[in-house]
Structure 1
Amino acid sequence: MSTRDEHISQPVPAPTITYPAQGSTTGPATLLLGSGIPNALVQVWNIENTHSLGAGRVSAKGRWAFSISGAQPQGPHRIHAHQTYESTTSQWSDKREYEVRLRPDIDVPLVREPVEGAQVEAPPLFSGDVTRPEGFVSIFDLETGLEIARAEVDSDRQWKTPAAPLLPVGQYRISAVHNIAGETSDWGRVRTFTVAAQTGD
């Protein structure tokens, strides 16, 4: 019991913001990603603390990821984050500055499958649309930062592919980028789904 009491009495450190990167350019509804205490609630606010950009729970592996709520106006932005763990809220993180462009050179890809909150068999099938019929779409596991699927875009501006590795049973948070000739889009909306069963057993 004393170990638990000592743990609670320690101050909660501020979470870390990994993305958007300092000085980067994003779209209006970009990915927010970083690290924190497992099961803590991370909240991201503008630097003036006048509006929240979103909130999300830190995973068991210490990662948090969610898309910005709504859309940001064009121009420079400054944000910071704090996390609440066992009713104790941390200090604010270091500020993060970035630029929002409403009309980027490459639009973010739209993920249609799996739908948000779906339970799917392994390997999951990823599919969606883009605005330009060229290049390829990469799907990333936001927990590991690894690419788990890649799909060529067809002439109808659609893409489809199963996950490359066999994903274990569990919950996943993914995002996608559209790559054209070495240039990539901003991150698409975060999609959460669960691999509920393995096929072929």
Structure 2
Amino acid sequence: MSNPSSANQQPIPAPVNTLPADQAIVGSRTIFMGTGAPTAFIEVRDSKQQQSYGEGYVNKNARWVFSAKSVMLPGNYQIQTRQTLNNETSAWSAPRSFTVVVPMKIEAPEIAQPQEGEQTDASPVFSGKAYQNGGAVDLFDMNANQLLVSASVLPDGSWRTQALQPLPVGEHRISALHRVAGDVSDWALLRTFSVRVSK
């Protein structure tokens, strides 16, 4: 006799892709982002499901994000994504197309601080380098998909700022865009750090 709950269980749906946007122009180390089932394992592959471009886990807020795991050559790409949870794997998502251009008109900025895996206090300093003069660097909380803070780019290409509001304890994932005269770069490599409990 079959278990009624298992008989009525729906298959796990394919995850949703939000970045890169369909038909977007991106750099060689772009970011992949979307939504899925919390704690599920995400895979991003080409449309033939052979070449892997990145993988990671969905957080408790149902969001997943990671940088391309290797440099992508210029050209046209089509990707699909799937998720695995409790030994059940979804179907592949609908194809998503984008184009990698090298170099881009505005190169992605670099995040120097916080360093990868660093533990910080609740008001960390954010700093890094931009590769074009002028404009501003926008830092985003990628877990919440919202703007965190902006910093002006100095004449030497450096930028530096601090969180406007204390960040909650726990893991944070950030990335950045550089805006110059109406043009916008691709995303900086994802940076993960943790806010420690204050003593």
> Please, what TM-score do these two structures have when normalized by structure 2?
0.94
Give per-residue Cα distances to partners, 1:82-139, cap 9 Å, x unaligned.
0000011100001000111011000000000001111100111100011122111010
SS in 2 for 1:122: coil
Aligned-residue offset at 1:167: 1.2
User: Within 5 Å, which residues of 2 pair with 1:187-198?
Assistant: 187-198=187-198
Cα separation, 1, equivalents of 2:160 and 2:8 = 47
- Work out whether 1:32 is the aligned partner of 2:32: yes
Aligned to 1:139: 139
Cα separation, 1, equivalents of 2:192 and 2:6 = 35
- Contact 1:18/1:33 (<8 A) preserved: yes
Judged with a 3 Å threshold, the aligned counterparts in structure 2 of structure 1 residues 76 and 123 are, in CA distance, closer, same or farther, namely: same
Letter of the 1:34 counterpart: G
Judged with a 3 Å threshold, the aligned counterparts in structure 2 of structure 1 residues 121 and 8 are, in CA distance, closer, same or farther, namely: farther
Cα separation, 1, equivalents of 2:159 and 2:77 = 32
> Alignment identity in percent?
37
- Contact 1:120/1:197 (<8 A) preserved: no
- Work out whether 1:72 is the aligned partner of 2:65: no
SS in 2 for 1:197: coil
SS in 1 for 2:154: coil
Aligned-residue offset at 1:181: 1.4
Cα separation, 2, equivalents of 1:73 and 1:138 = 26
User: Mind listing any 5+ residue stretches in structure 1 that lack a counterpart?
Assistant: none
- Work out whether 1:153 is the aligned partner of 2:153: yes
Letter of the 2:183 counterpart: E
Letter of the 2:25 counterpart: T
User: Mind listing any 5+ residue stretches in structure 2 that lack a counterpart?
Assistant: none
> Please, what TM-score do these two structures have when normalized by structure 1?
0.93
Cα separation, 1, equivalents of 2:95 and 2:79 = 6
Aligned to 1:46: 46
Letter of the 1:195 counterpart: V
Cα separation, 2, equivalents of 1:54 and 1:68 = 5
Aligned to 1:61: 61
Aligned-residue offset at 1:71: 1.3
**Structural RMSD (CA):** 1.7
Give per-residue Cα distances to partners, 1:152-178, cap 9 Å, x unaligned.
111111000001222111211111011
Aligned-residue offset at 1:6: 4.0
Letter of the 1:139 counterpart: L
